[in-house]
Amino acid sequence: MRLNYPPNVKIIKVPCTGKVDVIHLLQAFERGADGVYIAGCLEGDCHFLRGNLRARKRVEYTKRLLDEIGIGGERLQMYNMSAAQGPRFAEVAREMTERIMTLGPNPIRAKNRKP
């Protein structure tokens, strides 16, 4: 199935969202990402039992850090979907892209751009 999702979305694959740590999310922003979202399995469907639930809590924690830093926690979001929900994946990609468009670029990236 080929689905269209915005080309600005860069996918990083991990075996389980439980692998995603706070520092990975922060570094994505530090390196200029305008937004990050995590697509985890549906709650209750984690192959490692609680990986996606852990990820959600880390996302919440990182959102607060991003607020403290002044980047804005709304640039980070956790979604849950199953591997069979291709259209949902595309929809989320568009939703996130739209949200970021409204928020504008990551202030770090704007400042960091070498002249």
Partner 1 sequence: MIVAERKPLEQISSMIESNSKVLIVGCGECVTVCSAGGKKEVDILASALNMIRIKESKPIEIRQETLERQCDAEYLEQLRGFIGEYEVVISMACGAGVQFMAEKYKNSLVLPALNTKFIGVTEEQGVWSERCHACGDCKLHLTGGVCPIARCSKSLLNGPCGGSANGKCEISPEVVCGWQLIIERLSDLGQLEKYEEIIPINDWSTNRDGGPRKVVREDLRL
In the complex with partner 1, the residue whose CB is nearer, 13 or 111, is 111
For the chain, the maximum distance between any two Cα atoms, rounded to a whole number of angstroms, is 48
Cβ atoms within 10 Å of 30's Cβ, excluding its own: 15
Rounded CA-CA distance 110/76 in Å is 18
Answer yes or no whether residue 60 interacts with partner 1 by CB under 8 A.
no
Instruction: Select from 65, 81, 90, 103 the one that contacts partner 1 (CB under 8 A).
Output: 65
| Minimum distance of partner 1 from residue 112's CB (angstroms) | 5
In the complex with partner 1, the residue whose CB is nearer, 24 or 94, is 24
| Mask for 13-52, x = binds partner 1 (CB under 8 A) | --------xxx--xx-xx----------------------
Say how far residue 109 (Cα) sits from the centre of its chain.
17
Answer yes or no whether residue 53 interacts with partner 1 by CB under 8 A.
no
Burial class (CB in 10 A: 0-12, 13-18, 19+), 113: exposed
